[in-house]
């Protein structure tokens, strides 16, 4: 997938609208997939992207988060933690499948399907330039920011 164009998708977004990948062209884009709203790791990751959001904007980069949670859940999560970027609801798992982030995980001894915490960076032309899979939440946003900044220098 690296260095390839990502196929367009349209998905429900917070704020009552939809997110169209094609419409995001012209800037770099960070897409971070996370398992579930209001869980410890996902909260940490989202807060760190929030705290660095101004730096992403300075690098001409937008950030979006995707999980299988509903828009209603996303709106509450976004408001609770003052997230300045859109959260996208992939309840049908179409975008998750497109990026290959649905994995079998062990949860309390049972195998369940879930999102593997992953992040992707697309350049202004929609070409995949960076990907991280099975990431640890804490400190990840800083690593992604440094990568995005390296694309613009």
Buried b vs exposed e over 26-43: b needs ≥16 C-beta within 10 Å? Answer: eebbbbbbbbebeeebbb
Phi/psi of residue 60, nearest 5 degrees: 55, 50
| Catalytic annotation, pick one of 11, 21, 42, 59 | 42
Q: Is 102 exposed, middle or buried (0-12, 13-18, 19+ CB in 10 A)?
A: middle
What gap in Å lies between CA 64 and CA 57, rounded to an integer? Answer: 12
How many beta carbons lie within 10 A of that of residue 52, not counting itself? 18
> In what helix (H) or strand (E) does residue 82 lie, and over which residues does it extend?
none
Partner residues linked to 66 by β-bridges: 33, 88
Residue 102 near residue 67 (C-beta atoms within 8 A):
no
In the residue annotation, 42 being an active-site residue is answered as yes
Residues labelled catalytic = 42
């Amino acid at each position: 997938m690296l260095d390839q164009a990502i196929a367009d998708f349209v998905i429900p977004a917070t704020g009552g609208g939809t997110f169209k990948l094609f419409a995001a062209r012209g800037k770099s884009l960070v897409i971070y997939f996370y398992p579930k709203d209001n869980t410890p790791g996902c909260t940490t990751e989202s807060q760190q992207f929030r705290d660095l959001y101004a730096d992403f904007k300075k690098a001409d980069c937008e950030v979006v988060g995707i999980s299988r949670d509903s828009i209603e859940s996303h709106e509450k999560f976004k408001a609770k933690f003052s997230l300045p970027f859109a959260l996208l609801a992939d309840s049908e798992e179409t975008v998750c499948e497109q990026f290959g982030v649905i994995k079998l995980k062990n949860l309390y001894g049972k195998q369940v399907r879930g999102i593997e915490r992953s992040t992707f960076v697309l350049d202004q032309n929609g070409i995949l330039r960076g990907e991280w899979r099975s990431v640890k939440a804490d400190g990840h946003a800083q690593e992604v920011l440094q990568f995005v900044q390296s694309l613009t220098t």
